[in-house]
Amino acid sequence: MNRKLITTIIILSIAMLELLAVRQSHINTVNSMTTLHRKIDSNNEKLNMLKIQIERACSPSEIKPILAQIIEVHEKD
């Protein structure tokens, strides 16, 4: 009787340890995913800022003065 009880306790303990290991693995995976998502969000924000800068640089209000200067330079030649 005692041997069966001890064997059962040992087997249950091993099973619980395995479940804890699987749970910890899941937690580590979620942590890694969260870190990657934060990096992706940060990079997306940087890309959006660059897009805005490009849009401003290519806007007609920015290009017209540059074109006017180019035309003046070519007319002088």
Q: What is the pLDDT of residues 38-75, one digit of tens each?
A: 999 999 999 999 999 999 888 888 888 888 888 888 88
Q: Which percentage of the chain shows pLDDT scores above 90?
A: 70
Q: How many residues does the chain have?
A: 77
pLDDT band at 37 (very low <50, low <70, confident <90, very high): very high
Residues 6+ apart with CB under 8 A from 62: 56
Q: Where are the domains of the chain?
A: 2-76
Please give the C-alpha separations between residue 52 and each of 27, 40, 43, 46, 65, in angstroms, as whole numbers: 37, 18, 14, 10, 20
pLDDT at 77: 67
